[in-house]
Amino acid sequence: MTETTPAEWWREVALPERIETERLLLQRHAVQDAPALKAAVDANIEHLRAWMPWAMEEPSPLSAMEERIQKFRASFNTSEDWGYTIRRVGSPAIIGSCGLHARIGPNALEIGYWLDARETGHGYATEATAALIVAAFATGVVDRIEIRCDPMNLASAAIPRRLGFTYVTTLEKNAKTPTGDPRDTLVYELTRDQFLENINHSVERPGGDDLH
């Protein structure tokens, strides 16, 4: 690693702008995505308001979405956040968003995600999260990854368990729901060593569990 302060370790993180999986395409936000992203958010406002505080301010005008995307793009290169749109391969429609965030300490990233309610049940969120995990550890800078979620969000909490994360703790009343009520937060962690061990086990067991 180059000489940087602990608070700036994330400057060495170099993540790809495009990640393609078997079924999905994750891409760094682009201004031309604004109409498709707005359409996805607008179609899921009630779904998102259950879990995402920012959704309480939706719907936004297209100009506001464009400004937001400009900030996302700037953060990708200069800040501690790397955001991606989620599309099915070959489809122009945005079906969700995901990202990596350097807000949980040195050499650690937190993964966040949301998916169009009409696209749930197909393993897309798990597939996108798995792709982010691979990309993060491939940087050589990240030692661990966390996923944090509301205990009531059972679908979200199932993803880290499915991907080999370890339950760490429940932070009691450390956050608020979108409506302002106090809530707990589940914390799951995957270290680089655990990730490599999981890969070795999957190689040793051809035809093992499907990550979807």
Query: Is 15 in contact with 82 (CB distance < 8 Å)?
Result: yes
User: Where do we find the tokens 């393993």?
Assistant: 123
How far is 90 from 94, CA to CA, in rounded Å?
11
Q: What is the mean pLDDT of residues 51-77?
A: 95
Query: Is 151 in contact with 127 (CB distance < 8 Å)?
Result: no
Give exposure, 116-154, as e/b (b: 16+ Cβ within 10 Å).
beebeeebbbbbbbbbbbebbbebebbebbbbbbbeeee
CA atoms within 13 A on the CB side of 9: 17
* 206: pLDDT strictly greater than 60: no
In one-letter notation, the amino acid at residue 58 is: E
Q: What percent of the chain has pLDDT over 70?
A: 92
The pLDDT value given to residue 210: 34
* 103: pLDDT strictly greater than 60: yes
The pLDDT value given to residue 202: 66
CATH fold label, 6-204: Aminopeptidase (3.40.630)
3-class secondary structure, 91: coil
